[in-house]
Chains A and B, each alone.
Chain A
């Protein structure tokens, strides 16, 4: 077997196991208030940690990244849909970069 393909296969198996184990093994509703609360907070903490400061490196300059960040928060706060927030933050980055370069 090609060496690269074997590497790819190992990566895929490890990654899939991480994803599949909790979802298949935990088949009941958890009653414990602490675990429930922990899981309730997980998405907010994990996604917030992932967004900032990484968003500043996502675009061509930290300035346009910051503008996209602020724009996304404002539009999300005002109740725009997921799709609109994503597109509006793209658009604001695009416009700011027209001025920057």
Chain B
């Protein structure tokens, strides 16, 4: 049994590459936010309160285009609906006795990457592990935004390009190891990527927003897989 501080530290360690990747992505966000007419305070405020990449990029486009409040709310709902499923999955990954306060705080940090490393943690998820990841990732996201707004395009493109793949590397490192030697998971990952590619390339489907695509494919593939390959034992590790 790890102490809370040990959980926090191991979360922090896994949060560092997320912070680096977030810095690169939010740096770009900061540049675009400035172009969309936001000042540094508004851009950083958006990053700290929203903590979501696709939603924020869509948000500044809508703000710049003077969209209505309803449009903005519905867009966020669609783009970020995947967090609903992630939060659902996390509700089964934490101890059922986890306090209401911890649940409220952990919910703030449900991003693709923080969710990924949290669900990959062995055993039940300690809130402190999630806080450790957030302690690195959130400042990375906020600082990247600030630097993007203030400095503009100054980071070398090579560095930005390399850092941009860090987040994808994290996600791959979450899904691949449990799939090793597991035909069901390996097959699911391949099918998911193939269908995702098809959805991106087929002209009839290409206009679909990525948020809608993620939700549809998740319900479809995980829904069918759960029917054909039910997980009998307690395999939520």
A residues lining the B interface (CB < 8 Å): 2, 4-12, 14-16, 18-24, 26-30, 33-55, 58-60, 64-65, 68-69, 72-73, 75-77, 79-83, 85-91, 93-94, 97-98, 101
Q: Which of A15, A38, A50, A59 has a CB less than 8 Å from the CB of B161? A: A59
Cα distance A89–B180 when bound, in Å? Answer: 19
Interface Cβ pair total, 8 Å cutoff: 296
B residues lining the A interface (CB < 8 Å): 13-14, 16-18, 20-21, 37-38, 42, 45-46, 49-52, 55-56, 59, 62-63, 69, 72-73, 76-77, 80-92, 94, 96, 100, 103-104, 106-108, 110, 112, 115-117, 119-120, 157-159, 161-180, 185, 188-189, 192-193, 195-197, 200-201, 210, 213-214, 217-218, 221-223, 225-227, 229-232, 235-236
Given the known interface contacts A60-B161, A73-B172, A76-B173, the answer about A7 and B82 at a Cβ–Cβ threshold of 8 Å is no
List the B side residues contacting A85 at CB < 8 Å.
169-170, 172-173
20 contacts between A and B (CB under 8 A): A10-B76, A15-B76, A15-B80, A16-B107, A18-B87, A23-B88, A35-B226, A36-B231, A37-B226, A38-B222, A43-B115, A44-B192, A46-B218, A49-B217, A50-B196, A51-B171, A69-B172, A72-B169, A72-B172, A86-B166
Cα distance A61–B87 when bound, in Å? Answer: 34
Given the known interface contacts A82-B120, A86-B169, the answer about A49 and B49 at a Cβ–Cβ threshold of 8 Å is no
List the B side residues contacting A40 at CB < 8 Å.
226, 231, 235-236
List the B side residues contacting A80 at CB < 8 Å.
173
Are A24 and B103 in contact, with the CB atoms below 8 A? yes
Are B50 and A97 in contact, with the CB atoms below 8 A? no
Min CB distance A64 to B, Å, is 7
List the A side residues contacting B84 at CB < 8 Å.
18-19, 21-22
Are A50 and B112 in contact, with the CB atoms below 8 A? yes
Grouping DSSP codes into helix (H, G, I), strand (E, B) and loop, the A interface class, with mixed when no group exceeds half, is helix
Given the known interface contacts A20-B107, A43-B89, A43-B119, the answer about A4 and B174 at a Cβ–Cβ threshold of 8 Å is no
List the A side residues contacting B42 at CB < 8 Å.
2, 4-5, 8
Q: Which residue of chain B is the closest to A13 with respect to CB atoms?
A: B73
Min CB distance A57 to B, Å, is 9
Name 9 extra pairs, CB < 8 A, besides A36-B231, A76-B172, A82-B170: A4-B38, A10-B76, A18-B80, A18-B87, A19-B110, A37-B226, A52-B197, A69-B168, A76-B177
